[in-house]
Protein backbone atom coordinates (compact mmCIF):
# COMPACT_ATOMS: atom_id res chain seq x y z
CA UNK A 1 0.00 0.00 0.00
CA UNK A 2 1.16 3.53 -0.80
CA UNK A 3 0.16 6.51 1.31
CA UNK A 4 0.54 10.10 0.23
CA UNK A 5 -0.22 13.35 1.99
CA UNK A 6 -1.12 15.95 -0.61
CA UNK A 7 -0.89 19.63 0.29
CA UNK A 8 -3.21 21.53 -2.01
CA UNK A 9 -3.42 25.18 -3.08
CA UNK A 10 -6.86 26.38 -4.17
CA UNK A 11 -7.99 29.47 -6.07
CA UNK A 12 -9.83 32.02 -3.90
CA UNK A 13 -13.56 31.29 -3.46
CA UNK A 14 -13.15 27.71 -4.78
CA UNK A 15 -12.33 26.10 -1.40
CA UNK A 16 -15.72 24.48 -0.75
CA UNK A 17 -16.10 23.33 -4.37
CA UNK A 18 -12.68 21.62 -4.32
CA UNK A 19 -13.30 20.11 -0.87
CA UNK A 20 -16.58 18.58 -2.02
CA UNK A 21 -15.08 17.26 -5.28
CA UNK A 22 -12.11 15.63 -3.56
CA UNK A 23 -14.22 14.17 -0.77
CA UNK A 24 -16.01 12.08 -3.43
CA UNK A 25 -12.78 10.34 -4.49
CA UNK A 26 -12.52 6.82 -3.05
CA UNK A 27 -8.75 7.11 -2.74
CA UNK A 28 -8.96 10.19 -0.50
CA UNK A 29 -9.29 8.79 3.02
CA UNK A 30 -8.99 12.07 4.94
CA UNK A 31 -9.41 15.71 3.96
CA UNK A 32 -8.51 18.64 6.22
CA UNK A 33 -8.94 22.37 5.51
CA UNK A 34 -5.87 24.41 6.50
CA UNK A 35 -4.88 28.01 7.12
CA UNK A 36 -1.51 29.18 5.85
CA UNK A 37 0.56 28.34 2.79
CA UNK A 38 -1.74 25.47 1.77
CA UNK A 39 -5.53 25.33 1.78
CA UNK A 40 -6.20 21.60 2.07
CA UNK A 41 -4.46 18.41 3.20
CA UNK A 42 -5.56 15.13 1.63
CA UNK A 43 -4.50 11.69 2.81
CA UNK A 44 -4.50 9.36 -0.19
CA UNK A 45 -4.26 5.56 0.13
CA UNK A 46 -3.69 3.39 -2.95
CA UNK A 47 -2.00 0.11 -3.91
CA UNK A 48 1.18 1.54 -5.46
CA UNK A 49 3.18 4.71 -5.89
CA UNK A 50 2.37 4.62 -9.61
CA UNK A 51 -1.32 4.77 -8.71
CA UNK A 52 -0.61 7.60 -6.25
CA UNK A 53 1.05 9.56 -9.05
CA UNK A 54 -1.96 8.95 -11.30
CA UNK A 55 -4.44 10.13 -8.63
CA UNK A 56 -2.47 13.31 -7.93
CA UNK A 57 -1.95 14.22 -11.58
CA UNK A 58 -5.20 13.07 -13.18
CA UNK A 59 -7.73 13.58 -10.40
CA UNK A 60 -6.50 16.06 -7.78
CA UNK A 61 -4.57 18.49 -10.01
CA UNK A 62 -7.27 18.20 -12.67
CA UNK A 63 -9.95 19.38 -10.23
CA UNK A 64 -11.32 22.81 -11.12
CA UNK A 65 -9.96 25.34 -8.62
CA UNK A 66 -6.76 23.47 -7.69
CA UNK A 67 -3.78 25.70 -8.46
CA UNK A 68 -0.95 23.56 -7.10
CA UNK A 69 0.01 20.55 -5.02
CA UNK A 70 2.91 19.18 -3.00
CA UNK A 71 2.90 15.46 -2.28
CA UNK A 72 4.65 13.85 0.68
CA UNK A 73 4.90 10.06 0.52
CA UNK A 74 4.92 7.64 3.42
CA UNK A 75 7.99 5.51 4.11
CA UNK A 76 8.42 2.02 5.51
CA UNK A 77 10.80 1.33 8.42
pLDDT in tens, 15-71: 999 999 999 999 999 999 999 999 999 999 999 999 999 999 999 999 999 999 999
Q: pLDDT at position 77, please? A: 75
Q: Domains plus CATH for the chain?
A: 2-73 (3.30.70.920)
Cα separation, 34 vs 20, whole angstroms: 15
Question: What is the pTM (predicted TM-score) of this model?
Answer: 0.94
Smallest CA-to-CA distance from 44 within 77, 68, 69 is with 69
Amino acid sequence: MAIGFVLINIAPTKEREVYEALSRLDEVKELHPLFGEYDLLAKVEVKSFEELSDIVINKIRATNGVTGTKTLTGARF
